[in-house]
Structure 1
Amino acid sequence: MIPQGPDRFHGIYPSTVLPMRADFSPDWTAYARHTVHCALRDGVAGVLMNGHAGENFVLSRAEKRRAVEVTVATVGATRIVVAGVNAESSLEAAEEARDARDAGADAVMVFLPNAFALAHTTEMALLHHRAITRAVPGMPIFLFQAHHAAGRMGFTPETLDALLDIPEVVGIKEGSWEVDRYDALRRQVKAKRPDVAVCASGDEHLLACMVHGSDGSLVSLADLMPDEISALDAAVRAGDLPRARALHDRLEPLAEAIYGAPPAGRATARLKFCLAEMGVIPDPAVRPPQPPVTGPEAAMLRAAMRESGLAPQGPRDAA
């Protein structure tokens, strides 16, 4: 549900995981429970699903559509539902966007094809996004600014300027993981399209980006600590930096353990492990080729959870 007003897309959006059973089939009951846990909170504007945290790169079109349907049925009457669209083919991405719209999503977030990491041009980025806008005319679109480790998948200033000419663009998930790049993008967007919500979404440095200025955040760390991230956003907006620093100190151990500790690319597996430790989802299974969290990695996450005030529960704590 999209609220009214010029700030209608501002706010905090947890980027949900998709719980799975031991056979790697989606557990829709657990998914609905997880979505309620992180999204139906004071200070949470909406939910981003079928994102990287939701393993969108290993889901079928039917599974992605079902995920939208479950999300809308669970929280769609009171929260904005943003569905990730991730496909190598622009034609397939357009079909995913139609699926999301028909299943009730309020907006889509467009992920660039992985092939763009090899090379891409402004023309390619425009073709990809315009294929989607033609498929779902008038549907709000969030852009995704990939982090620097994704190579050429991040938008250049020239490409971003061209994409901002698309009227359906209403927001940007800024995930470059570099505060200076974030601020440069924010300034560029606000100079051309002040109506577009620029959302600081690098989980490890939310405080720094929010102090520069942010219209919200679309982050998977909010799966675990939605109240704290909403409170951080509110504290910065109120100019209460002591409160903001205290919240940052609580968030940072878990953020570094999930996103910063090597090897890279383990965020979804680690999020699921923590959610299972908290008793929010029953199984931390991730689809291959990602292996499960075990051994020293599990011990690291349990320690970080305790430091961030999320003590593991249940029999896994003794493992």
Structure 2
Amino acid sequence: MKIASRKVIASVALPMSADGDPDFTAFRRYLRWLADEQGITAFAINADTGEGAHLDNPERLRTAEVVREEFGDTVYLVSGLIATHDRAAKQLAHDLSAAGSDALLMFTPPAFAGTTLSKEALVGYFSATREAGLPLIAFSLMADVGGVTLGPDTLASLCAVPGLIAAVKDASFDARAYVRTRNLLKQDFPDVELLTGCDNFILESYLLGAHGSLLGFAGLAGAATLRLHDLVHAGRISEAIQWDAERIAPLAAVMYGEPIRDNRSRLKEALVHLGVIDSAHLRAPLRPVSAQERQRMLAVVDRTFAPLGVPA
């Protein structure tokens, strides 16, 4: 079964206690809300939304285990893989597989954030995880949040390795880069799926050819994102445009505005406001949003979810 058959994979937050430790009780409640009230059946953990770069490996593994304890095999679980070298990536891939992950979202090594490491180095790094037997999602992530936007040559080298890459998540937040990725996959690697991670232009990225999505935005407005996906893929474009204008674009604009790194604190503030979790604590050095920004953002949250939740 293809990854995009899950339609929308929600990249989820990880609630924290006041001392900065993961609050797995709140995490279970939050995931249940996404599944039972928002219709989400696929989660991405240990990614940017879930403060994955700020977790240690035991915490990453425990996060995966908690999802499996809560849902068994009824949800699809993508785990972000962040490691500093090939041997560490190999071990973490094995451990994440044992903890119940179905696929790996492959970050580039942190030492290369904002730059492009050689194609040969990246192919070797990705290939080090193959023994774990999990599908790999190559993560093309904008430099402003610590990633690397993977260019066509680099993606072509990765996709050319038989069976290495199942999908590409494009979170370049750049329409031109997104189209280049789409064109490469469509023309040369049609079996590699395109997942949009561009929370700032979700509708447009679907109209430009995304098979599915892996979005932090869906960790809040899951049902709204699923509806947008279904409308576009049913060819109901005028309805999708209206839905986006009413329920998606205004919220995405405040959640993913500048500074974009604050999207994690904004998401937690919104979840507190909706009564899903009890606190918006982050792991330092991340910091909360200002009171003024919180007020402005939550007004948009209210409009998005009014009057009784997102319609089905």
What amino acid sits opposite 2:166 in the alignment? V
Contact 2:149–2:172 (Cα < 8 Å) also in 1: yes
- Deviations 1:93-146 (Å, cap 9, x if unpaired)? 222211110111111111112221244111121121112224x1x321111011
Offset at 1:72? 1.7
Give 1:156's aligned residue: 151
CA RMSD in angstroms comes to: 2.1
Could you tell me which of 212, 216, 222 is aligned with 2:212? 216
Query: What is aligned with 2:8?
Result: 12
Shift of 1:263: 2.1
Q: TM-score, normalised by structure 1?
A: 0.89
Which whole-Å CA distance do the structure 2 matches of 1:187 and 1:34 have between them? 37
Give aligned pairs, total: 305
Q: 1:273 aligns with which of 269, 275, 286?
A: 269
1:199 aligned to which of 195, 199, 208: 195
Alignment of 1:120-139 (within 5 A): 120-134=117-131, 136=132, 138-139=133-134
Q: Is the 8 A contact 1:11 1:44 kept in 2?
A: no
Q: Say which SS state the counterpart of residue 200 (structure 2) adopts.
A: helix
**One-letter amino acid matched to 2:159:** L
Partner of 1:255: 252
Tell me if the contact between 2:145 and 2:261 (Cα under 8 Å) persists in the aligned partners: no
Structure 1 position 8, deviation (Å) = 6.2
Structure 2, unmatched stretches of 5+, are 308-312
Q: Displacement of 1:9 after TM fit?
A: 4.7
Render the CA deviation track for 1:250-285: whole Å, top value 9, x for unaligned.
21121111111x223111111011111111111110
Query: In structure 2, do the counterparts of structure 1 residues 152 and 267 end up closer, same or farther at CA, with 3 Å as the change threshold?
Result: closer
CA drift at 1:7: 6.5
1:141 aligns with 2:130: no
Deviation string for 1:192-226 (max 9, x for gaps)?
Answer: 32222211121120111111111110001111111
- Distance, in Å, in 2 between the alignment partners of 1:41 and 1:141 is 29
Instruction: Please point out which of 87, 90, 112 is paired with 1:91.
Output: 87
**Partners of 2:65 and 2:147 in 1: how far apart?**
33
Deviation track 1:131-172 (CA, whole Å, cap 9, x = no partner) reads: 2224x1x32111101126468811121110110023132111
Normalization by structure 2: what TM-score? 0.91
Q: Contact 2:196–2:202 (CA<8 Å) still a contact in 1? A: yes
Structural mapping, 1:1-319, within 5 Å:
4=1, 9-40=5-36, 44-116=40-112, 117-134=114-131, 136=132, 138-147=133-142, 149=144, 153-166=148-161, 167-249=163-245, 250-260=247-257, 262-309=258-305
Give the fraction of aligned pairs with identical amino acids, expressed as a percent. 29
In 2, are the aligned partners of 1:169 and 1:196 still within 8 Å (CA)?
Answer: yes
Q: Which runs of 5+ in 1 are unaligned?
A: 312-319
Residues 1:41 and 1:100: Cα distance change in structure 2 (over 3 Å)? farther
Are the equivalent residues in 1 in contact too, given 2:4–2:211 (CA < 8 A)?
A: no
What amino acid is the match of 2:283? R
Q: Which runs of 4+ in 1 moved over 3 A?
A: 6-10, 39-45, 148-152
